[in-house]
Amino acid sequence: MPAEHAGKAAPGDNRPVDLSFSAADGDIRGTLAVALSLTRHTNDKEQRIVVVGDADFLSNAELSRTNLNSCNFDFATSVFGWFSYGKFPIDIVRPEPKDNRVSVSDQGITMMKIFFMGILPALAAVMGSILLLRRRRK
């Protein structure tokens, strides 16, 4: 690999890459953030964004991990609290829905059964047969 491309991989190249510090390439030693919280104001509203270096820090596997101590649950709780401006846990109570009844008679259920278990499969079989016969003729 040429010297000017040391530490960089070509797209689609799965070979190992030398990841070492190089001040000549602009690397800076120091503390690196693994999570950033960003805000921006648009039209009298505030948008809040969290960018985290670990894509699965909120997954069930990470939150229930016991082989090493991690603060993912505490961090996630803090992030959700920040998103909700301290109103946490979020109130998810909703009004009772208006359409909470199904009004189908026994005759209606029988008709649906005939349609979905008889007419629709028969129609699919006929259409499939027609398609196969037409393709065979060509």
Extents of the domains making up the chain: 33-93, 105-138
pLDDT surpassing 90 at residue 75 = no
Query: Which residues does residue 45 pair with via DSSP β-bridges, in sequence order?
Result: 42
pLDDT for the residue numbered 135 = 93
Q: Which residues contact 7 (CB under 8 A, 6 or more apart)?
A: 17, 18, 19, 20, 22, 25
Query: Looking at residue 92, what is its pLDDT?
Result: 81
Alpha-carbon span 20 to 8, nearest angstrom: 11
- The per-residue pLDDT for range 18-73, each reduced to its tens digit, is 778 888 988 888 887 788 999 999 999 999 999 998 888 888 888 787 777 777 88
Q: CB within 8 A of 131, min separation 6: which ones? A: none
Question: With pLDDT > 70 as the criterion, what percentage of the chain qualifies?
Answer: 90
> How does the average pLDDT of the chain come out, rounded?
84
**Confidence check: pLDDT of 103 > 60:** yes
pLDDT at 10: 62
Question: Average pLDDT, stretch 68-85?
Answer: 84
